[in-house]
Amino acid sequence: MKESLMKNLLKKSLLASAAILFTVSVAQNVQAQTVTVNATADVSNELTLTVASPMNFGSFIAIGGPTPATDTGTITIGTDGVLSAAAAGTDSNAAIIDDSAATAAEITIADGAPGATINVLIDGVVDPTDGTDSLTLTDFVTSTNGGADQSRTAGAGNEFTITYGASSPSTMIIGASLVTNATGAVGDGAYAGSFDVTYSY
């Protein structure tokens, strides 16, 4: 009886072992399967810039004193598009004649990343001239997306940053001043100049 019981136990043990060996054997022979996953991206570092409005100082009187050089006449266009005039010294004069065409510069910046920091540089200033006389374009001021005015200095090394708006496009408005040189009254006529505004991440 005991011998029969032992044989049954041994038989069950061998069957269990065989089952385990069979299971392990199956797992070891499963073929490895590989799938390739593509990775794609769209890099868009380029901003789209548009001059929505040029800078126009309207029509004005501009007289600078011959001496000293501090006697100057100044015409200023604010970011709100309002012109103002000021004269320094006894031999200078500045006054607005017609401001109906006056506009601050307006630039729209599209295709930017919402909330991103953008580097800005005002450079390449060409003072307005009629071909004979000239006025100094200076004292830039900017307002971004309706924010407060910020004074800016043009030229290399004077880069500043703005925050791109929550939606596209963002808007920057630029005001500035025209200052007479110490040469007395400048000649009548149409004066033209320019400046560059560079945006980058």
Q: Tell me, what's the pLDDT at 168?
A: 77
Separation CA 160–CA 142 (nearest Å): 11
Pair of tokens at residue 157: 């090394």
Q: Tell me, what's the pLDDT at 185?
A: 81
Cβ–Cβ < 8 Å for 169, 128:
no
Q: Tell me, what's the pLDDT at 184?
A: 77
The per-residue pLDDT for range 134-186, each reduced to its tens digit, is 999 999 999 999 999 999 999 999 999 999 988 778 999 999 999 998 677 88
Using CA atoms of 17, 20, 21, 23 in order, give the dihedral in degrees to the nearest 10: 160
- pLDDT at 191 exceeding the cut of 60: yes
The per-residue pLDDT for range 78-120, each reduced to its tens digit, is 999 999 999 998 889 999 999 999 999 999 999 999 999 999 9
Q: Tell me, what's the pLDDT at 29?
A: 61
- What confidence category does residue 66 fall into, taking pLDDT thresholds of 50, 70 and 90? confident
Percent of the chain with pLDDT over 90: 72
Please, which residues have CB within 8 angstroms of residue 86's CB and are 6 or more apart in sequence?
A: 73, 74, 76, 94
- pTM: predicted TM-score of the whole model, two decimal places: 0.81
Q: Give the DSSP letter of residue 1.
A: -
Span 188-197, average pLDDT: 97
Separation CA 152–CA 20 (nearest Å): 80
- What confidence category does residue 76 fall into, taking pLDDT thresholds of 50, 70 and 90? very high
Pair of tokens at residue 133: 């006389």
Name the average pLDDT for the chain.
87
Span 185-198, average pLDDT: 94
